[in-house]
């Protein structure tokens, strides 16, 4: 039976029709072999657009459909579902893009129309060789793996566990809580960070459905959506978690002191330590790099003192493997190290701090018990806050970190609040970005508290007779100002984790230009990734404040949960098939397959694809010397015909003659341009 | 005689370069219309036959573009493409084609600007090379 192809050319409002002569493309399509009907319409993806396709399939007996509109990455599923509703196998459909790759990027309308015709001709040629394919249904393991236990990871774990699913929550650090646990207050409400995050930390540790693994890292992921196997490396803590009571005696007597990471270098910790007295789990860990005993020297003081015998220097790292259906990454951010910005004197002058260091200084359980003071213990009489350090800077990170304006305002308020109104606070900003709920109001409030705002990016911070002097062009006054201050706070950028590339590879996801993890779609898929079943939560996807991170996390939890709760997932049937009649049994595909999905049938002397393991990458098909291996939907025949359609009428005719190369049947009756169907 | 405008076929992987092409489109980065995309799931599925077929069917150049080394959605398909391109370069010369007609690039999913630049650079390069040797090859 000859194919009856329907071609649908979308205007996409003026997005396509503004450049491409869509009626002309539809007219051209009517002349292509096998095309029974070709229409153009304002919005193909709309209800009437889809209805039009469904009606044509039914009434005109179409057995192939081509839609030329936006990128298939956006609406392929939409139209496949429309075909399905009309009783047509969704793989007898081809979507081709004349928007992102044609109308939006071509300067000249005639050329765009010409290109659109080629694109449509290729799709029509190819669809002739499509086969009906049937998706495979696989079970989804109900458990979820959450990586990172900051505020976003904790939110994900709580949301999912409360829905009745088991969560494996893996945290790299010795305790959970992430950056939020280091903060004192949160903007704009000035909620105490501990008051709102510690209950969450405790809830996580007490939730029976959450398997909390601290001091652990995911080292390997295998499998596919719904059926992942994760390997987690649990680092030796040298403290038996079951025996330890968290009394803290060991930490008091440990002779080794090193700068504390949790205190951002503002305080010290011992070699056996916990981040704070409120840590969850509230049990210490031995830092093997600094411990005297583990370093081969004579010590073991902690072991002698421990009343419960919990110290175990013989602990070894463990590899734990677990089956999960979906994965949520909530690996967070790093704080930009301002050392490369030497002009601000970080690391050179005692009283130049990063924002995170100031958070610790200001924190009630921080190194100064919350007293804002200089290195010499005195109260600063004036403080300069430099915004956008490392962000909005093409030398470092071009993006805006989205939180610095607001936390700077929080510092403004807290400094005035704690040190008194006579303390002068100067903000050096480029633009104030106070876009969230209640943020602009908070900005106004801080302005009214008498904080100074100087618009400009400071040139340098110098030390003049024991005073720090900030030199800056005030771009509103148009002159250079020199502001003497006692303390400088640098609002450092939020950056991707230093090992983000490594993590991206482990999980098979991508990074954006800014090196944060890349979401599936910037607007419509902000929590999913290109890899099915792997989702993003919080700042690993881009800078976020706490409300946004929590909202993002709940979104990710919901998406992971929708897969887990449904319990099954359809797997694309566009996988490899090796024709046993053609296969010569050379076995070269077997070693090529990255998924070990091809086995050799010794009896028949042919290679056989294991359909459950094949992902359809086509390594075998691209190589097979006899052409026996073919990827369904991307068969050699489809690609060859696609090429012939793409190159038809060449070499290089002007637009008009392309149409002439495919004479248009005059008596084409049902091919009328659809008018407001 | 009219100025020569090349026609280029690009085999791009769904996960990186096709996504980058979408991004370039969304950002309205103007590109030469002379390059036409064939969407593949992975550069590793680009059979060398496709390249030869494209060149023999009238394409003046072929671009294969996928994920950066190490970033392949299918673990290592792009490395396989790289090996095939290396061999193809030798075969094409044997066929009588200038080996510069085939180009392999890595354009990641977020590199819309890089995609647009790649397209325009490729079109420039092939324009400078002139029409394909296909007619001469087929006459042999």
Render pLDDT for A252-277 as a digit per residue (tens, 0 to 9): 999 999 999 999 999 999 999 999 88
pLDDT of residue A462: 97
Does residue A515 belong to the interface with chain B, where contact is any CB pair within 8 Å? no
Return the minimum-mean-pLDDT range out of A43-57, A322-336, A609-623, B28-42. Answer: A609-623
Q: In the numeric block, which tokens belong to residue A608?
A: 């056989």
Cβ atoms of A328 and A535 within 8 Å: the answer is yes
pLDDT of residue A660: 39
Q: How far is B119 from chain A (nearest CA, A)?
A: 11
pLDDT of residue A1: 64
Q: Is the pLDDT of residue A668 over 70?
A: no
Cβ atoms of B77 and B43 within 8 Å: the answer is yes
pLDDT digits (tens, 9 = 90+) for B78-92: 999 999 999 999 999
DSSP string for A354-406 = EHHHHHHHHSTTSTTTT----TTSPPPSEEEEEEEESBS-TTSB-S--SSHHH
The H or E element containing residue A97 is strand A93-97
Nearest Cβ partner for A530 among B33, B44, B109: B109
Label each residue of A533-550 as H, E or C. Answer: CEEECHHHCCCCCHHHHH
Nearest to B7 by CA among B127, B121, B120: B127
pLDDT digits (tens, 9 = 90+) for B84-138: 999 999 999 988 999 999 999 999 999 999 999 999 999 999 999 999 998 777 7
pLDDT of residue A671: 40
Q: In the numeric block, which tokens belong to residue A618?
A: 């086509």
pLDDT of residue A652: 39
Nearest to A217 by CA among A204, A230, A234: A234
Chain A residues whose CB is inside 8 A of the B131 CB are 651
Nearest Cβ partner for A618 among B41, B53, B76: B41
Nearest Cβ partner for B50 among A71, A107, A643: A643
pLDDT digits (tens, 9 = 90+) for A285-298: 999 999 999 999 99
Inter-chain contact A622–B45, Cβ cutoff 8 Å? yes
Chain B residues whose CB is inside 8 A of the A646 CB are 9, 36, 38
Does residue A68 belong to the interface with chain B, where contact is any CB pair within 8 Å? no
Inter-chain contact A651–B44, Cβ cutoff 8 Å? no
List, as ranges, residues 363-402 from A with C-beta within 8 Å of B: none
pLDDT of residue A657: 38
| Cα A309 from chain centre | 43
**Superfamily the domain A334-495 falls into:** FAD/NAD(P)-binding domain (3.50.50.60)
Average of pLDDT values for A578-582? 96
Spatial distance between the Cα atoms of A162 and A149, rounded to a whole number of angstroms = 16
Does residue B110 belong to the interface with chain A, where contact is any CB pair within 8 Å? yes
Residue of B nearest to A109 (CA): B33
Nearest Cβ partner for A118 among B36, B70, B76: B36
Which long-range contacts link A106-113 to residues 24+ away (Cβ below 8 Å)? A106/A19, A106/B30, A106/B31, A106/B33, A107/B30, A108/B33, A109/A19, A109/A20, A109/A21, A110/A655, A111/A655, A111/B33, A112/A19, A112/A20, A112/B33, A113/A19, A113/A20, A113/A21, A113/A24, A113/A25, A113/A655
pLDDT digits (tens, 9 = 90+) for B52-62: 999 999 999 99
The contacts of residue B2 (CB under 8 Å, 6+ apart) are A652
Spatial distance between the Cα atoms of A493 and A427, rounded to a whole number of angstroms = 16
Could you give the strand order of the β-sheet that contains A318-324, starting from the edge strand earlier in sequence? A216-224, A227-234, A318-324
Spatial distance between the Cα atoms of A243 and A249, rounded to a whole number of angstroms = 14
- Tokens 């100067």, residue? A426
Cβ atoms of A44 and A83 within 8 Å: the answer is no
Please give the mean pLDDT across all residues of chain A. Answer: 93
Label residue A424 by pLDDT band (50, 70, 90): very high
Cβ atoms of A141 and A227 within 8 Å: the answer is yes
Does residue A524 belong to the interface with chain B, where contact is any CB pair within 8 Å? no
Average of pLDDT values for B4-23? 95
Label residue A28 by pLDDT band (50, 70, 90): very high
DSSP, res B86: H
Residue of B nearest to A512 (CA): B110
Q: Is the pLDDT of residue A677 over 90?
A: no
Average of pLDDT values for A568-584? 94
Inter-chain contact A531–B73, Cβ cutoff 8 Å? yes
Helix, strand, or coil (residue A489): strand
| Cα A452 from chain centre | 37
Q: Is the pLDDT of residue A478 over 60?
A: yes
**Neighbour tally for A253: CB within 10 Å:** 12
pLDDT of residue B139: 67
List, as ranges, residues 46-75 from B with C-beta within 8 Å of A: 46-50, 53-54, 57-59, 67, 70-71, 73-75
Is the backbone peptide bond immediately before A188 cis, with ω within 30 degrees of 0?
yes
**b/e map A492-505, b = 16+ CB within 10 Å:** bbbbbbeebeebbb
Its ipTM equals 0.96
Cβ atoms of A95 and A29 within 8 Å: the answer is no
Question: What is the number of CB-based contacts under 8 A between chain A and chain B?
Answer: 157
Helix, strand, coil percentages (3-state) for chain A, rounded to 5, are 30, 25, 45
CATH of A575-631, one of 3.40.980.10, 3.40.50.2300, 3.20.20.80, 3.30.70.20: 3.30.70.20
Spatial distance between the Cα atoms of B78 and B46, rounded to a whole number of angstroms = 10
Q: Kindly report the backbone phi and psi dihedral angles of residue A85, in degrees, each rounded to the nearest multiple of 5, phi listed first.
A: -65, -30
Chain B residues whose CB is inside 8 A of the A505 CB are 70-71
Spatial distance between the Cα atoms of A67 and A7, rounded to a whole number of angstroms = 6
Domain ranges across chain A: 5-135+634-661, 144-235+318-332+516-568, 249-305, 334-495, 575-631
Spatial distance between the Cα atoms of A278 and A240, rounded to a whole number of angstroms = 19
Return the minimum-mean-pLDDT range out of A234-243, A414-423, A467-476, A652-661. Answer: A652-661
Label residue A324 by pLDDT band (50, 70, 90): very high
Cβ atoms of A361 and A373 within 8 Å: the answer is yes
- Tokens 């073919």, residue? A630
Chain A residues whose CB is inside 8 A of the B77 CB are 594, 617-619
Helix, strand, or coil (residue A650): coil
Q: Kindly report the backbone phi and psi dihedral angles of residue A624, in degrees, each rounded to the nearest multiple of 5, phi listed first.
A: -45, 115
Spatial distance between the Cα atoms of B101 and A544, rounded to a whole number of angstroms = 45
Q: In the numeric block, which tokens belong to residue A334?
A: 């790093």
HSE (side-chain half, CA atoms, 13 Å) at B126: 29
pLDDT of residue A308: 94
**Neighbour tally for A280: CB within 10 Å:** 26
Inter-chain contact B7–A651, Cβ cutoff 8 Å? yes
Q: Is the dihedral of CA A233, A236, A242, A244 positive or negative?
A: negative
Q: Is the pLDDT of residue A58 over 80?
A: yes
Spatial distance between the Cα atoms of A218 and A6, rounded to a whole number of angstroms = 49
Chain B residues whose CB is inside 8 A of the A122 CB are 36, 38
Does residue B100 belong to the interface with chain A, where contact is any CB pair within 8 Å? no
Spatial distance between the Cα atoms of A281 and A258, rounded to a whole number of angstroms = 21
Q: How far is A229 from chain B (nearest CA, A)?
A: 16
pLDDT of residue A658: 39
Spatial distance between the Cα atoms of A664 and A658, rounded to a whole number of angstroms = 12
Q: How far is A233 from chain B (nearest CA, A)?
A: 22
DSSP, res B70: T
Class of domain A144-235+318-332+516-568: alpha beta
Cβ atoms of A236 and A316 within 8 Å: the answer is yes
Spatial distance between the Cα atoms of A568 and A141, rounded to a whole number of angstroms = 8
Whether domain A5-135+634-661 has CATH 3.40.50: yes
Cα angle: A132, vertex A597, A327; to 5 degrees? 90
Average of pLDDT values for A30-39? 95
Beta-strand ranges (E) seen in A525-666 are: 534-536, 568-571, 576-578, 598-601, 606-609, 629-631
Q: Is the pLDDT of residue A426 over 80?
A: yes
pLDDT digits (tens, 9 = 90+) for A307-318: 999 999 999 999
What would you report as the CA-atom Rg of chain B, rounded to the nearest whole angstrom? 15
Q: In the numeric block, which tokens belong to residue A674?
A: 């659809």
Q: Is the pLDDT of residue B33 over 70?
A: yes
The contacts of residue A299 (CB under 8 Å, 6+ apart) are A255, A291, A292, A293
Inter-chain contact B73–A108, Cβ cutoff 8 Å? no
The reply to whether A144-235+318-332+516-568 and A334-495 are identical in fold is yes
Spatial distance between the Cα atoms of A29 and A673, rounded to a whole number of angstroms = 12
Average of pLDDT values for A402-424? 96
Nearest to A181 by CA among A219, A214, A159, A211: A214
Residue of B nearest to A103 (CA): B25
pLDDT of residue A475: 97
pLDDT of residue B1: 52
Q: How far is A30 from chain B (nearest CA, A)?
A: 21
DSSP string for B20-43 = HHHHHHHTT----TTEEEEEES-G
Beta-strand ranges (E) seen in A207-246 are: 210-213, 216-224, 227-234
Inter-chain contact B36–A634, Cβ cutoff 8 Å? no
Strand partners, A33: none
Nearest Cβ partner for A639 among B29, B50, B109: B50
Q: Is the pLDDT of residue A560 over 60?
A: yes
Cβ atoms of A517 and A541 within 8 Å: the answer is yes
Inter-chain contact B109–A621, Cβ cutoff 8 Å? no
Helix, strand, or coil (residue A221): strand
Residue of A nearest to B61 (CA): A647
pLDDT of residue B140: 60
List, as ranges, residues 490-509 from A with C-beta within 8 Å of B: 504-505, 508
Spatial distance between the Cα atoms of A555 and A537, rounded to a whole number of angstroms = 8
pLDDT digits (tens, 9 = 90+) for A122-181: 999 999 999 999 998 999 999 999 999 999 999 999 999 999 999 999 999 999 999 999
Nearest Cβ partner for B58 among A74, A504, A647: A647
Structural domains present in chain B: 8-139 (3.40.50)
pLDDT of residue A612: 83
Interface test with B, best of A105, A613, A627 (most B CBs within 10 A): A105
**Residues counted in chain B:** 140
Inter-chain contact A100–B21, Cβ cutoff 8 Å? yes
Strand partners, B93: none
Average of pLDDT values for A450-473? 96
């Amino acid at each position: 039976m000859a194919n009856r192809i329907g071609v649908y050319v979308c205007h996409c409002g003026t997005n396509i029709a503004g450049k491409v002569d869509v009626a002309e493309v539809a007219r051209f399509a009517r002349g292509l072999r096998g095309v029974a009907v070709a229409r153009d319409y304002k919005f193909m993806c709309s209800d009437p657009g889809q209805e039009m396709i469904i009606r044509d399939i039914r009434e005109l007996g179409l057995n192939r459909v081509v839609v030329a509109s936006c990128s298939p990455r956006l609406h392929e599923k939409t139209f496949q579902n429309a075909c399905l509703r009309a009783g047509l196998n969704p793989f007898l459909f081809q979507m081709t893009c004349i928007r992102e790759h044609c109308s939006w990027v071509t300067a000249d309308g005639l050329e765009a129309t010409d290109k659109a015709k080629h694109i449509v001709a290729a799709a029509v040629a190819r669809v002739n060789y499509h086969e009906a394919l049937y998706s495979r249904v696989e079970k989804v393991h109900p458990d979820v793996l959450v990586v990172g236990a900051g505020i976003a990871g904790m939110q994900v774990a709580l949301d999912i566990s409360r829905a009745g699913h088991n969560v494996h929550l893996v945290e790299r650090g010795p305790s959970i809580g992430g950056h939020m646990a280091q903060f004192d207050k949160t903007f704009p409400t000035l909620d105490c960070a501990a008051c709102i995050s510690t209950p969450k930390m405790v809830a996580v540790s007490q939730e029976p459905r959450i398997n909390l693994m601290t001091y652990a890292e995911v080292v390997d992921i295998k499998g596919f959506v719904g059926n992942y196997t994760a390997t987690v490396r649990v680092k030796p803590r040298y403290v038996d978690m079951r025996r330890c009571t968290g009394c803290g005696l060991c930490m008091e007597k440990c002779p080794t002191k090193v700068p504390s990471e949790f205190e951002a270098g503002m305080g010290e910790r011992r070699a056996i330590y916990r981040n704070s007295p409120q840590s969850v789990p509230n049990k210490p860990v031995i830092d093997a790099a600094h411990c005297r005993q583990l370093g081969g020297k004579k010590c073991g003081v902690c072991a002698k003192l421990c009343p419960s015998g919990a110290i175990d220097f013989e602990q070894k790292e463990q590899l734990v493997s677990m089956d999960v259906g979906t994965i949520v990454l909530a690996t967070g951010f790093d704080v930009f190290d301002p050392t490369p910005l030497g002009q601000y004197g970080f690391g050179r002058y005692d009283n130049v701090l990063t924002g995170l260091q100031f958070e610790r200084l200001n924190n009630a359980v921080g190194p100064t018990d919350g007293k804002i003071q200089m290195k010499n213990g005195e109260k600063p009489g004036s403080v300069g806050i430099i915004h956008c350090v490392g962000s909005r800077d093409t030398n470092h990170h071009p993006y805006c970190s989205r939180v610095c304006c607001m936390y700077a305002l929080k510092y403004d308020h807290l400094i005035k609040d704690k040190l008194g109104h006579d303390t002068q606070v100067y903000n050096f900003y480029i633009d104030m970005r106070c876009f969230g709920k209640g943020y602009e109001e908070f900005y106004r409030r801080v302005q009214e508290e008498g904080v100074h705002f100087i618009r400009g990016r400071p040139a340098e911070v110098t030390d003049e007779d024991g005073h720090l002097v900030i030199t800056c062009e005030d771009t509103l006054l148009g002159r250079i100002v020199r502001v003497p201050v006692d303390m400088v706070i640098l609002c450092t950028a939020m950056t991707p984790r230093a090992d983000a590339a490594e993590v991206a590879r482990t999980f098979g996801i991508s990074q954006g230009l800014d090196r944060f993890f890349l979401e599936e779609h910037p607007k419509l898929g902000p929590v999913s990734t290109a890899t099915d079943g792997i989702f993003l939560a919080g700042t690993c996807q881009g800078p976020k404040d706490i409300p946004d991170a929590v909202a993002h996390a709940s979104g990710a939890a919901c998406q992971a949960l929708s897969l887990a709760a449904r319990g099954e997932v359809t797997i694309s049937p566009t996988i490899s098939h090796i024709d046993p009649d053609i296969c010569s049994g050379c076995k070269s595909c077997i070693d090529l397959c990255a998924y070990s999905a091809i086995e050799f049938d010794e009896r028949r002397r042919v290679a056989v694809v294991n359909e459950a393991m094949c992902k359809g990458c086509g390594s075998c098909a691209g190589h097979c010397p006899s052409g026996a291996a073919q990827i369904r939907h991307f068969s050699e025949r489809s690609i060859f015909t696609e090429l012939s359609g793409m190159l038809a009428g060449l070499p290089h005719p002007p637009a008009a003659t392309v149409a002439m190369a495919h004479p248009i049947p005059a008596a084409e009756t049902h091919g009328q341009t659809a008018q407001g169907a | 005689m009219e100025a020569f405008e090349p026609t280029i076929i690009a085999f791009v992987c769904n996960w990186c370069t096709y996504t980058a092409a979408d991004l370039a489109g969304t950002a309205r980065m103007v590109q030469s219309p002379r390059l036409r995309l064939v969407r593949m799931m992975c550069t590793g599925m680009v059979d060398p036959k496709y390249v030869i077929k494209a060149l023999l069917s009238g394409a003046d150049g072929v671009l294969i573009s996928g994920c950066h080394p190490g970033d392949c959605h299918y673990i290592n398909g792009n490395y396989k493409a790289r090996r095939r391109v290396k061999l193809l370069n030798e075969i094409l010369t044997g066929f009588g084609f200038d080996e510069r007609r085939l180009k392999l690039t890595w354009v990641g999913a977020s590199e819309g600007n890089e995609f647009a630049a790649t397209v325009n650079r490729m079109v420039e390069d092939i324009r400078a090379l002139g029409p394909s040797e296909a007619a001469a090859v087929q006459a042999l």
